[in-house]
Amino acid sequence: MPTLYGVFRSRASRPIWLLYELGEAFTHVPVIQAYRLAQASAPDAPLNTTSAAFLKVNPQGQIPAWVEGDLTLTESLSITNHIARTRGGDLGPQTPAEQALIDQWTLLAVTAVETPALEILNVQGAGGDKTPEGQGAIAINAEKLRRPLARLQAHLSTHSHLVGDRFTVADLNLAECLRYAQGHPTLLGEFPAVKAWLEKCQSREAFKKMWAARTAEPV
């Protein structure tokens, strides 16, 4: 049985959501980020990203990691795309063209959406949205997102989903990256088709199951 390493409050949420969609059995090893622990190297510390046992799985010390037989994967969207390709059914590519489109939207998520969206989340989480400097940083990163969001708005104005007019791993990958920016008070309202699509993705039972487990996990 494949093994997924990583806690819910991490990018492991992405493959977990997908696995819940598929009803696939897997072993879950909850490796926590070392920075979340007061003493990650203490003898009684929980398994974390600096633990020797985990570094044997991923020497880079990052989660998630996926082990399936002789295969080890260590990037969250590489993991989701692999699962979708090999056991994803309708959530995976049905043709080479669909595979190319899934790759396209996944790369857009990583290169154009995730970093500015995460920066917005981090500034807000640190209370920076209440300071002029933080508000400036949020504005800069929101502006970075407007170009990819405009592209998504154009596509989703005439399509229900990103690939094949059905929910696929491409939607999951991009929705999880864009989720970081949902706390911005007005940004997604500028792109109503994107906002509606994201809400539709997050209304799925597998997402709600993942989110409930994530919320229940200690901060």
Eight-state DSSP code of residue 163: B
Rg (CA), the chain: 18
Q: Give the per-residue pLDDT at 90.
A: 97
Does residue 14 belong to any structural domain of this protein? Answer: yes
- Number of structural domains, the chain? 2
Contact 112, 148 (CB under 8 A): yes
Q: What is the mean pLDDT of residues 66-80?
A: 98
pLDDT digits (tens, 9 = 90+) for 157-190: 999 999 999 999 999 999 999 999 999 999 999 9
| Same domain for 101 and 197 | yes
| Same domain for 188 and 137 | yes
| Same domain for 186 and 142 | yes
Q: Is the pLDDT of residue 215 over 90?
A: yes
Q: Give the per-residue pLDDT at 219.
A: 76
C-alpha span between 112 and 105 (Å, rounded): 10
Q: Which helix (H) or strand (E) holds 66?
A: strand 65-68
Q: Give the per-residue pLDDT at 129.
A: 86
Q: What is the mean pLDDT of residues 32-58?
A: 96
| Same domain for 115 and 62 | no
pTM of this structure: 0.96
Exposure of 152 in the CB half-sphere (CA atoms within 13 A): 29
Alpha carbon distances (Å) from 19 to 41, 115, 117, 124: 31, 25, 24, 30
Does residue 215 belong to any structural domain of this protein? Answer: no
- Contacts with 70 (C-beta within 8 Å, 6 or more apart), sequence order: none
pLDDT grade for 111, boundaries at 50, 70 and 90 = very high
C-alpha span between 92 and 82 (Å, rounded): 9
| Same domain for 198 and 142 | yes
Domain CATH for 151:
1.20.1050.10
Does residue 106 belong to any structural domain of this protein? Answer: yes
pLDDT digits (tens, 9 = 90+) for 126-151: 988 889 999 999 999 999 999 999 99
Residues spanned by the domain of 40: 3-87
| Same domain for 175 and 125 | yes
Q: Any idea of the CA torsion for 49, 54, 55, 59, to the nearest 10 degrees?
A: -80
